[in-house]
Structure 1
Amino acid sequence: MGAGVVVTGVGAVTPVGRSAPATWDALLDKRSGASSISRFDPDAAGCRSRIACEATLPEETPVDSTKVGRYAEFAVAAASEAIDDAGFDPRDPDWDAPRVGTSVGSAIGGLPEIEATVGDRVSPRFVVTYLSNLASSQVSIQFDARGPNRAASTACAAGVHAVADAARELRCGRADVMVAGGSEAILSPHGVRGFDAMRALSTRNDDPEGASRPFDADRDGFVIGEGAGVLVLETAAHAAERGVDPIARIAGFGRSADAVHPTRPPEGAEGLRRCLERALDDASLAPPAIDHVSAHGTSTPRGDEHEATALNRTFDECPPVTATKSLTGHTLGASGAIESVVTALAIREGTVPPTANYRTPDPVCDVPVVADPRDAELEAAVNVAAGFGGTNGAVVLEAAR
């Protein structure tokens, strides 16, 4: 992909901040978004895990919350920030709507909206609040983006895949600007109980802030979260024509399937390793060129071991690794997009963000986890994602200087 696609704006609504700058500052301060669930009564719902990372929407959003799903509202809020950050105004005559596209992924879409409707009279708005493409569609509607309109629904890899899909549209010349990311709002009784039943969630209910422990020997599952991350991507030529300084460059991406089991990763991590190698090859970079890894790092016993294996089989010497889910929780389809936002900011700011709660190294996760913020000149970093169904994604970002 070379210098063809750049990041010119970022936006985020996360459990640790209502904007990208607020999220970034909270991560550097290691402020956790985890607490007891407040959106419903987890005891009444029969949840073993009674903790979550809940997000708070900005006070004003461009949409009517009674007419859209919560996950779509997150996406529109993050997109609004990213578009403004990129210096665009969709009301301006220079906004070339047919050349602006959207690509916003979600693992599940509007699960709370589905759950709230069961047994009740069905609203005419029901279908258009839960479909998993409605976040991307609402972004296109609210900001008059009439170009390619995509919506990856590839489980917890959806955010990274959506960014990759957007970059491909730009590379192929089908758009000049793409608003890309991921959004999720799954905090409902069935959403939590479903992962509970799989024993995927942490049950450290008395210690919410210490519950998510990626790569730590004492990890016992992830803390479920919600939110959205959005990036404005442009062709480098379009950004240069506008006189905009990019935040970072999208250098390449990779995808692969494990083709083994819906939830159990394969021995040897061959699928994720192949995904990483494809991303590096697409970016025309050798493994030693990568300065930082933004890990999927969910805090599940098997998942973290699997990812560490893939990293160590890709890199002779694994670069410094950060797992921000230790603070934001696992936001499922939004996670890869939020982490792409954070990775772009890490490159621009010259700072590797930390991993919280990393206290006891695990021999089966032998990767260099960054426990405290670290100044570093980052030329290239890779953001990793994986999802149920055995789907993998990775995106390589480079410094735009």
Structure 2
Amino acid sequence: MTGPTIAVTGLGMITPVGNDTGSTWQGVCAGASPARRVPELAGCQIDFACTVGGIDLDTAIGGRTAFRMGRYVKFALLAAREAVADAGLDPATWDGTRVAVVVGTSSGGSASLTEQTMALEQRGPEATSPSGILLTIPNMPAAEIAIKMRATGPSMAPCTACSSGVTALSVARDLLATGQCDIAVAGATESIVFPVAMTGFARSGAGALAGPGDDPARLCRPFAADRAGLVMGEGAAIMVLERDGDARARGAVPRAILAGAGATTDAHHPTSPHPSGAVAQRAVEAALLNAGWEASDVDHVNAHGTSTPLNDATEAALISRAYPHRPPVTAPKGVLGHCMGAAGAIEAGLTVLTLQHGVVPPIANLEAPAAEFDINCVTKQPLHRRIDRAVSHSFGFGGHNAVVALQRA
């Protein structure tokens, strides 16, 4: 890789298994999904999801501004606060002109848009919120973080569907490498557990369907022979990125190095991956080339692993071709569900923690991968092993493929 080395100096998360990074890591390593039936989804064909709980978001945000924030914005702001504190930085004292904010999302405030539409139709204009626009537009996570943290450098909101989080990290890395900022607050957020979205996934055939006796927590099983579709999740993950030399000069100890990134587009179908997986594999190869690695250098793969029949088959074939030495593979969606636009950022954050702790979390609900998949899945218990180099895959509707290569600091 040419250019400066980019360090991950801070990490913040809020997910269905924890309201911060530590509790999220513990939950993912425990390998049990919190998926449950959601009262607000009663009557929907898919009435279950992995949701964030155990926190009053408005109280956690504090002040008088929470009313103008959608749930997805609150997630992002809380994760950003944790990440910045974890990096040992203080927005009250940093030079905000040199701070960038890059926060992706897939659906933005579509839940709030639906609520406002229903209020308008049922009760008229006076029933809608004066903040209705702010509750819905997808740049608000980046905007609110910039406002709260006095960050007046570049800010943007990438949307590449389920790969939005990795796209955001890639863009932030480029901003640092080209000298457009000194600190980047980057990641993604999502919250679309509401009836219209869940009905859409049911109608599309992508969502797992539960019968009366099914346990929702057992339904997401990436790479299993009987995988039956994704389970919805929600949450956010934010990283603080800095040039490694700058971070160490101020006494920071990086969590990991963001060594490389690669992206391609299938240009094949709005929802289905290209069955060959060849274009997605080029994203992997681009990330490795950008990092200056050979495929054999990769010690671990954090897979996209949606638990859908076609996506898992395509990715498993890609993994077996791209990494013939069979590094250990995990797929966090078995625990967290599919957090859509936030998934890539969350999974990249978990990859950072794997590098730090030498632990690969197990894939929930998986006894063994399907017989036709020649991949080394971690199952049942965490794998304790030193991991020096790892990759995290993210693939999204529209054929967006994004991969990051992360290295032990």
User: 1:116-174 CA distances to partner (integer Å, 9 max, x unpaired)?
Assistant: 01141243311111111111111111111111101111100001110111111111111
**Contact 1:62-1:142 at 8 Å conserved across structures:** no
- 144, 148, 156: which one aligns with 1:142: 148
| Distance in 2 between residues matched to 1:319 and 1:272, nearest whole Å | 18
Structure 1 residue runs without a partner (length 5+) = none
Paired with 2:185 and 2:78, the residues of 1 have a C-alpha distance of 12
Deviation at 1:216, TM superposition (A): 0.5
Q: Give the CA deviation at 1:365.
A: 2.8
Contact 2:41 2:194 in 1 (8 A): no
Q: Answer yes or no: is the 8 Å Cα contact 2:202–2:209 preserved in 1.
A: no
Counterpart position of 1:6: 7
- 1:161 matched to 2:167? The reply is yes
| Distance apart, 1:14 and its partner CA | 0.1
- Amino acid across the alignment from 1:54: T
> Does 2:224 correspond to 1:227?
no
Q: What's the secondary structure of 1:310's corresponding residue?
A: helix
2:111 aligned with 1:112, yes or no? yes
Partner of residue 373, structure 1: 382
* Aligned residues of 1:16 and 1:31 also touching (Cα < 8 A): no
Match for residue 55 of structure 1 among 16, 38, 52: 52
> Mind listing any 5+ residue stretches in structure 2 that lack a counterpart?
none
Where does structure 1 differ by over 6 angstroms across 4 or more consecutive aligned residues? none
* Aligned partner (choices 203, 208, 211) of residue 197 of structure 1: 203
SS in 1 for 2:263: strand
Q: Provide closer, same or farther for how the CA distance between residues 239 and 42 of structure 1 changes in structure 2, counting only shifts above 3 A.
A: same
Q: Per-residue deviation at 1:360?
A: 4.3
Tell me the alpha carbon deviations over residues 306-362 of structure 1, each in whole angstroms, 9 at most, x when there is no partner.
Answer: 111111221222311000100000000000001111111110111111111112431
Is residue 41–residue 48 contact of structure 2 (8 Å, CA) maintained in 1? no
- Code of the residue aligned with 1:41 in structure 2: it is L
Quote the residue 2:265 is aligned against.
257
Q: Give 1:41 shift.
A: 3.4
State the match for 1:78 in structure 2: 79
Counterpart of 2:106, as a letter, is A
Quick check: 279-288 or 47-56, which moved more? 47-56
Whether the 8 Å contact between 1:184 and 1:334 is mirrored in structure 2 is: yes
Shift of 1:245: 0.6
Q: Matched residues, percent identical?
A: 39
Which of 294, 299, 307 in structure 1 is aligned with 2:307?
A: 299
SS for the counterpart of 1:222 is coil
Q: 1:125 & 1:285 partners in 2: Cα distance?
A: 48
Aligned residue for 1:182? 188
> TM-score, length-normalised on structure 2?
0.94
SS of 1:282 mapped into structure 2: helix
Distance 1:62 1:21 in 2: 22
SS of the residue 1:130 aligns to: coil
Task: Quote the Cα distance in structure 2 between the aligned partners of 1:62 and 1:10.
Answer: 21
In the other structure, the counterpart of 2:226 is: 218
How many residues of Structure 1 are paired with residues of Structure 2 in the alignment?
A: 394
What is the SS of the residue equivalent to 1:255? strand
SS at match of 2:277: helix
User: For 1:103, what is the secondary structure of its paired residue?
Assistant: strand
Any idea what the Cα deviations from partners look like across 1:205-264, whole Å, max 9, x if unmatched? 521111110000111001001100111111112101211110000000000000111111
CA distance in 2, matches of 1:226, 1:267: 28
> Following the alignment from structure 2 to structure 1, what is the Cα–Cα distance between the partners of residues 385 and 156?
35
Q: Distance in 2 between matches of 1:354 and 1:282?
A: 28
Q: Give me the whole-angstrom Cα distance separating, in 2, the residues matched to 1:41 and 1:335.
A: 22
Q: Structure 2: how far apart are the matches of 1:230 and 1:33? A: 22
Please identify, of 244-253 and 369-378, the stretch whose mean Cα deviation from structure 2 is larger. 369-378
CA distance in 1, matches of 2:374, 2:148: 45
Give the aligned residue type for 1:55: V
Q: Does 1:395 align with 2:396?
A: no
Provide the secondary structure at the position in 1 that maps to 2:163: helix
